[in-house]
Structure formats: structure tokens, C-alpha cells
Amino acid sequence: MISITLNGEKRELDKEIDLESLIDLFSLPRKRVAVEVNHAVIRRVDWPDTAVKDGDILEVVHFVGGG
């Protein structure tokens, strides 16, 4: 049982998983998004090998209209 912060919201996971699986778990988009774990960007290729640990702070961003 671990706890993470995803886009500012607390989330509980029953166990550590890799980033790739986490994206699936929350059915987040994969196209033109980027992910940061504890303030460091994780390249797409590294998602499978990146373990999400208890207390990790994740940001998953995409693009919206702006000026």
C-alpha cells in the first residue's frame, strides 16, 4: 500500500508499479503528454523502467488552449 501525489491529488496504490502501468491504471492519455516524477521529467522510453514509489510526486501534462 503506497501513496502518491498525481497532478496535485493524493492517490493510493496497493503496491509499487512502473510508470507505464500507472498511466494505464488511470487511463491517462499517451499522445503528446509528458510526465515528471519528483520534479524530473521521465522520457517516454523510460516509463517501463521507472518505479513509482511511496511519496512520489507526479505531474502528467498535456496541452490546452492558451495565449
Partner 1 sequence: MSDQFSLAGIIFGSRLIIGTGKYRSYDEMKAAHAASGAEMVTVAVNRVPLDGKTESFLDHLDPKMQILPNTAGCYNADHAIRTARLAREALETDWIKLEVIGDQVTLLPDNEQTLEAARVLVGEGFIVLPYFTDDLIMAKKLLDAGCPAVMPLAAPIGSGMGVQNPSNLRIMREQLPDAIIIVDAGVGVPSDAAIAMELGADAILMNTAIAEAQEPAQMATAMKLAVEAGRLGHLAGRMPKRLYASASSPIDGAIK
Residues that bind partner 1 (CB under 8 A): 6-9, 26-29, 31-36, 39, 41, 43-44, 59-67
> What cell numbers appear for 59 in the block?
505531474
Cell of 1: 500500500
Contact 63, 44 (CB under 8 A): no
Q: Nearer Cβ to partner 1, position 53 or 62?
A: 62
Min separation Cβ 5 and partner 1, Å: 9
Q: Which is nearer to partner 1, 15 or 63 (CB)?
A: 63
